[in-house]
Amino acid sequence: MRILENELRAYSSKFLNSIKLQIITKKITCKAQILTLTNHRALYWEGKETLVLSDLHVGKSAHFRKHGIPISDNVLKKDLSRLKHLILYFKPKKVLVVGDLFHAEFNSDIENFKIWLQQFNTINFELVVGNHDRLSGDLYMDLDIKIYRPNKRVNSLQFVHDFKAISEDYFTISGHTHPGVLIRGKGRQKIKLPCFQVTKNQLILPAFSLFTGLNTKNCPEECTNYAFTDSGIFEI
């Protein structure tokens, strides 16, 4: 337990100290829709004035604290600070979370999220329910978040949390897998970076929360990885 605690504390500290709010963008076209990728783990759908992200995992840090692992509540504060910055930058009419907005049971992080939401009462928040979104329907109503199960379809795009089957009729945008890429440098140097995974029929979003791991092993066939850092977005 102590080893896990130390690893989590170091992981949290590393990412909290690395956050910069410079927004870098890259536009791609999918099914005739312009999607703007960002280096802050979200994309903007210009045609519908919608900011799209996945795997925010509100409540995760409080869940760990409940089980005796001292993770700072700054984890959520930093994630929400980045989200606020993106909202102010793009000025969307809608924020769509493609699953796992929440992480576990109702806890203090969710109370803080409820207060945070109040500053955006002119923006519609929507959620495609993910495997971690197990809160009661009454809570979603209280937060004024519209929910969709199992997907949301608009024009030629389909939004779903866990992508399982290719659709010829819709371009699918999903989350769940927390995609990343492993870049090998000189010698034994290795760097893991989050990425967007894009194929002919789908786009997999990176996990928005910084307090998540990176899956560098599962990559769809014929996939372009758009990895990013604080200062740029590049294809791999």
6 pLDDT band, cuts 50/70/90, is very low
The three-state secondary structure class of 113 is: helix
Query: How many domains does the chain fold into?
Result: 1
Residue 107 has pLDDT above 70, yes or no: no
Kindly give the residue spans of alpha helices, DSSP state H, lying in 144-202: none
Report percent pLDDT > 90 for the chain. Answer: 63
What pLDDT is recorded for position 10? 43
Q: pTM for the full model?
A: 0.86
Closest by alpha carbon to 124, among 104, 162, 96, 150? 96
Tens-place pLDDT, residues 17-40: 444 589 999 999 999 999 999 999
Over the stretch 64-83, which tens digit does the pLDDT of each residue have?
555 565 565 677 889 999 99
pLDDT category at 3 given cuts 50, 70, 90 is very low
pLDDT at 104: 72
Residue 2 confidence (pLDDT): 39
**198-227: per-residue pLDDT in tens?**
999 999 999 999 878 899 988 898 999 999
CATH number at residue 147: 3.60.21
Using one digit for the tens of pLDDT, what is the confidence trace for 159-202? 999 987 677 889 999 999 999 999 887 767 889 999 999 999 99
Q: Which structural domain, as residue segments, surrounds residue 184?
A: 2-17+24-235
